[in-house]
Structure 1
Amino acid sequence: MKKVIVLCICCLVSTFSLAAGSIASLENFVSQNNYSQAWQQAQQLAKANEGDPRFDYLYGLSALETGNYNQAVFALDRVTVNKPNAIRPRLELARAYLKINNDQAALREFREVLNLNPPATVRNNVNRYIQAIAKKSRDSKKWIIDSLVSLSAGYDSNANFGADNSVFDTPVFGQVFLKDESIKQESPFTEVRGQLNYRYITSDDQNWFVNTRLGHKHFQDASDFNLSDFSIQAGSIITAGKKQYQISLHHQMLQLGGESFSRSLGVESGMAYELEKDRIVGGTFRIENYDHQQQNLRDARRYEISGYYRFDTGDTHHRLDVLFGHEQPDNEAGKHHTHNGFGAGYTARHAWNATQVSFFNVQYQKRKHRATDPIYSDKREDDRLLVKVGHSMQLAKDLSAFADVGYIKNNSNLDIYTTDKAFVRGGIKYRF
């Protein structure tokens, strides 16, 4: 009996080893561009391995390169369902759609690739394909539009990010009593947001874009702090080999409690470089004029330098950010409102399966104000920490549900500015 069990175990181990070895051999054929041999082997392995994203990708690519386009579409589509953030399979799926003359489906996949913020070399390839599609027919377009609408509801423990207490002792004025609107106010809220992105492909290595964002958050128990925002960014992206350059103008308007709160107008330039597969480093430089609509002393010119490094490990996407900022007041009397700042952050996004994605984000900011606070006769220094986790679930092709929870803590050497808040939110998103 023991011999039979041992024999069965050996057979199972041999079977698994053979399957793994066969897929490795298939991968070797593909890496050598020996697609004819790869396609023959892929067909033999299909029955036992269909549904495995690694195999489906190799099968689909082999089918595509040997002229079996319908089989390529089916296999590569399975990969994009199971690995929605994988760029290469989606690119190959778009190519397969082109081969069967389904240009609209190909454009849809190219749009998804651009939404994933691909490396410069990939963006260049996408632009070239879109150019080729546009030349085939008058009905084909060199522009891409995508949009998104989200509805959500939640709870905020400190809607106005106000102080914990109403009375503070200060060295200049003694006891200070805060107005109600300056004290922490908790409230449930509802929020609606929308975005519209437009891209126009002018050549293989250049495209123009216009991105717009619009949102409104309504606090049920703190309506004075209802927040509306609108932003627009327009510019151009140029690729050169593994390098990607971007320059753009941006404008933002905020309303608080139904009244104009602030406006900003600026210019931004950036560069990204593809170090190797799935590893990109980049940076941006931004200058903007900040116009506070309610207090002229807060008007300032802002300068910001930031950098990032993003990479993938398996099904997890990582991003590290660092930021340095400086503010120059328009009026010297408002210098105490401006600050020099430093920030760092980390984001991880993990795809559990075809429909479930989770994320984790942590940010730290250090702000040192540039002049003495008139109430405390001391320069304000803040340390702010934000932690946020969330999860999204695909309900249908263009519909998803999401939920997130977060916490923000602001510590200050001036106790009137020390506060914190927690928030939770859930909602749905629909992409057009």
Structure 2
Amino acid sequence: MITRPSPQPMATLSATPLPQPIDTCASRRLRDRAAIAAAGAVLVAVAATARAAPLDDLRALVEAGQAAEAYAAFCADPDLSARPREFDLWCGVAAVDLGRAGEGVLALERYVLQFPDDPRARLELARAYFHAGDNVRAREEFEAVAKEQPPPDVQAGIDRYLAALEAREGRYRTRTAAYVEAGAGYDSNANAGVAQADIGLPVLGPVTVADVGVRQASAFGWLAAAGRIDHPVAPGWSVNGSGYASGTFYADASEFNLASFGAALGGSYNAKGNLYTLSYAHSEILLDGSRYRWTDGLGFEWRRQLSEQTSLALIPQYARLAYSGENAARNADLYAFSVAYRRVWLMPWHPVLNATAFYGDEHNREDRDDLGRTLYGGAVDVTVSPSPFWAINAGVGYVESRYQAPIPLLEVTRRDRNLTLTLGALYLISARWSVRAEYQYAHNAANLELFEYSRHVGAVKVRYEFK
């Protein structure tokens, strides 16, 4: 699943031409050598070009995403008088990209004071304010550039920064968000069934699986909606509520139609780079219109902002799982613990890495240890934004399940290894409309043939967001 991308560096505006430095020493010499004025003029031009060359090299390195090299070569000298004022623009951008937002703000402010009509500089200054946490000034600068009617790709980038600012401002003002979504796709194995009916099992030998357990492919339609409200109650403290509903409707396997809905309530405290969140959630799944499973859970999260680009979270959770009808034998209590890491790079394509590792114990409440299990695994995904309109995501996940007792009759303890691969692409049509293409491959390997399957799912979804 791909999410709306995080803000990324702006596309290049047509910046005001930078003034070239003047070789004043050569000029003084020429005053006493009027007889060779033509030759002196050539010397001036050569000297100006020589001083312009480092500026061109600095700009080329920054725009190529080599901020560290650019900073070390041209910006590390603390003596500001030793470099032309035009260096402040690109040294400021390099500093921001390296996570030195405060230093970048100072450099860009110096440049904007000298060249207030340079739109690229104003845009980079807005970005620097954003990464420095100065929300008010960042909004002022982004909105000022937006009033100049920049190109569509630049405006799309500004809109994404403004959306991120709205999320931040939720810390001190009530914020609401909602969306509706519709789509269609194809599932090669809607019921996660075995590839063929005739299989072999321990003790029982050759058996034939009923049709309901054999792979069924189908096209499907998709509908979803969700909403959330965050309300601050004191400095650093806020409460929130959310709800969602979704449905998958198969054309050729309607008995596996799925509907899910849920709601959550919680609160959070944010202070000194630490975010603490406590929440309660209830969710339900309907299978072919009948209640199949419902869950009540408590979750706690401690997220530590390690730097401007990285964060680490520890997430203990508890969930009470309940099933209806003959599936009630699966009723269980799930205890889980996760560690999540996030890293953002301030460079072209603005890559974002998310990595998660988890361990869980699903304890069966009906004395059916063969249905209880321990599970562990992890997931990694990377999102890049080639332009302000596009985001591309790829991920991989692995879950291993070890059941806690042999299955009756088969005298074998089940063990599963589930691998998933995902690809996605998001296109922002406007600030409210987006379209997303998704693909997922899943393979479940098991020590019992009855539980082995592979699955390919592809879909295209259109979303409208209420802002």
TM-score tier (shorter): 0.7 to 0.9
Matches within 5 A, 1:356-367: 356-367=390-401
Map of 1:149 onto structure 2: 180
Cα 1:53–1:164 shift into 2, 3 Å: farther
Trace 1:127-138 onto structure 2 (pairs within 5 A): 127-128=171-172, 130=173
**Shift of residue 10 of structure 1?**
5.8
Residues 1:308 and 2:363 aligned together: no
Aligned to 1:22: 88
Q: 1:407 maps to what in 2?
A: 441
For residue 82 of structure 1, report the CA deviation from its aligned partner: 2.2
Instruction: Specify whether residues 427 and 304 from structure 1 end up closer, same or farther in structure 2 by C-alpha distance, changes over 3 A only.
Output: same
Deviates more, 1:164-173 or 1:389-398: 164-173
- The amino acid across from 1:240 in the alignment is A
Structural mapping, 1:30-69, within 5 Å: 31=102, 39=109, 41-42=111-112, 44-45=114-115, 50=120, 54=124, 57-58=127-128
Q: CA deviation at 1:14?
A: 4.8
Structure 1 residue 160, shift from structure 2 partner: 0.5
Secondary structure of 1:421's counterpart equals strand
The structure 1 residue matched to 2:362, chosen from 322, 327, 331, is: 327
The 2-side partners of 1:15 and 1:379 are apart by 68
SS in 2 for 1:352: strand
2:163 is the counterpart of 1:82: no
Alpha carbons of structure 1 residues 33 and 57: separation in structure 2 relative to 1, 3 Å: closer
Change (3 A) 1:66 1:279: closer
Amino acid at match of 1:429: R
| Aligned counterpart, 1:383 | 417
Taking the aligned partners of 2:336 and 2:272, their CA distance within structure 1 comes to 27
Aligned letter for 1:289?
Answer: R
**Does the 8 Å CA contact 2:105/2:128 hold for their aligned counterparts?**
no
**Aligned counterpart, 1:215:** 246
Describe the shift of the 1:48–1:32 C-alpha distance in structure 2 as closer, same or farther (beyond 3 A). Answer: closer
51 and 398 in structure 1: CA distance in 2 versus 1, 3 angstrom threshold: farther
Alignment of 1:6-405 (within 5 A): 13-14=53-54, 16-17=56-57, 21-24=87-90, 31=102, 39=109, 41-42=111-112, 44-45=114-115, 50=120, 54=124, 57-58=127-128, 73-75=143-145, 81-82=156-157, 90=162, 110-113=165-168, 127-128=171-172, 130=173, 143-294=174-325, 295-314=327-346, 315-332=350-367, 334-405=368-439
Question: Does structure 1 retain, via aligned residues, the 8 Å contact 2:129–2:135?
Answer: no
Aligned counterparts of 2:455 and 2:248: Cα–Cα separation in 1: 16
Q: Distance in 1 between matches of 2:263 and 2:141?
A: 42
Partners of 1:187 and 1:220 within 8 A in 2: yes
The answer to whether the 8 Å contact 1:340/1:369 transfers is yes
Identity of aligned residues (%): 17
Query: 1:176 deviation in Å?
Result: 2.0
1:49–1:55 CA contact under 8 A, matched in 2: no
**Counterparts of 1:72 and 1:18 in 2: how far apart (Å)?**
25
1:418 pairs with 2:452: yes
SS across alignment from 1:276: coil
Give the aligned partner of residue 134 of structure 1. none
Distance 1:84 1:382, change over 3 A: farther
- 1:289 and 1:68 map into 2 onto residues whose CA distance is 44
Unpaired runs of 5+ in structure 2?
A: 1-41, 60-85
Report how far residue 127 of structure 1 moved. 2.2
Matched residues in 1 for 2:309 and 2:91: separation? 24
- Let me know the Cα RMSD of the aligned residues: 3.4
8 Å CA contact 1:235, 1:247 repeated in 2: yes
Structure-1 separation of matches of 2:51 and 2:463: 49
Change (3 A) 1:272 1:80: farther
Distance in 1 between residues matched to 2:165 and 2:137, nearest whole Å: 21
Q: Return the index of the structure with the highest Cα Rg.
A: 2
Say if 1:415 and 1:68 are closer, same or farther in 2 by CA, change over 3 A.
closer
Structure 1 contact 56–76 (Cα < 8 Å) conserved: no
SS at match of 2:354: strand
**Equivalent pair of 2:108/2:124 in contact (CA under 8 Å):** no
After superposition, the Cα gap between the structure-2 partners of 1:237 and 1:71, relative to the gap in structure 1 and judged at 3 Å, is: closer
Greater strand proportion: 1
TM-score in terms of structure 2 length: 0.73
Higher relative contact order (CA 8 A, sep 6+): 2
Change (3 A) 1:301 1:49: same
Q: What amino acid sits opposite 2:378 in the alignment?
A: A
For residues 111 and 364 of structure 1, what CA distance do their matches in structure 2 show? 35
Deviations 1:387-429 (A, max 9, x none): 0010011111100011011100000011111110001100211
- The one-letter amino acid of 1:239's match is N
Counterparts in 2 of 1:201 and 1:48: CA distance versus 1, 3 Å: closer
Q: CA deviation at 1:73?
A: 2.5
Contact 1:56 1:75 in 2 (8 A): no
Call closer, same or farther: CA 1:66–1:423 in 2, change over 3 Å. closer
